[in-house]
Amino acid sequence: MKWTGARYTDKPTVEVRTWIDAPPERVWELVSDVGLMPSMSDELQSIEWLDGATRPAVGARFLGRSRHEAFGEWATTSYVIECEPGRVFAWAVQDPADPSAVWRFRLHAGDGGTELSQWMQMGPGRSGLSVAIDHMPEKEQKIVFVRLREFEQNMTATLDHIKKRAEDD
């Protein structure tokens, strides 16, 4: 990841991609099963659907519990904002109108497999990172950069797990 000097209010983003030698339908089964995500992440500890939902659909909500050495433990409610089977799955964290983050998986079929990307945007709503920035405003750009780099590393690991599961089945 290249230094951009981004501030939180810039709504910085990061995206990672991989090629998976499996059809989009198989990849979709994995990315849309949010219950699998904690097994692919050091930070995300658990996810549970809310309001009787059992799978993604626009408007469905899920509760995620996370842990980070520097930030402690927290829980957030996410709202599915895009859900096109085999193509895109996205959710906004906390408030869909002013999310603390937006996450998105995109699938593109071609050449007998699937290109999978995972993208995320920080902000514009407040998050745990906002508290760190409030305490050290002079270090905001470094805080944002370090967190984006962590997200990039974690997302790369997640895509590696998805690729392995999709191709091994």
- Condensed to tens digits (0 to 9), the pLDDT of residues 60-70 reads 999 999 998 87
Give the contacts of 83 (CB within 8 A, at least 6 positions apart): 32, 56, 57, 58, 60, 89, 90
In this prediction, residue 169 carries a pLDDT of 67
> What confidence score (pLDDT) does residue 42 get?
85
The token duo for 8 is: 């939180």
Q: Is residue 1 part of a domain?
A: no
* Total structural domains within the chain: 1
- pLDDT tier for residue 93 given thresholds of 50, 70 and 90: very high
Task: State residue 160's pLDDT score.
Answer: 96
What residue numbers bound the domain in which 67 lies?
Answer: 12-168
CATH number of the domain enclosing 75 = 3.30.530.20
| Residue 1 scores a pLDDT above 80 | no
pLDDT at 85: 95
Residue 141 included in any domain: yes
User: Does 107 map to a domain?
Assistant: yes
Q: What per-residue confidence (pLDDT) applies to 90? A: 97
pLDDT at 153: 93
Q: Count the neighbouring beta carbons within 10 Å of the beta carbon of residue 167.
A: 13
Residues 148-156, mean pLDDT to the nearest whole number: 93
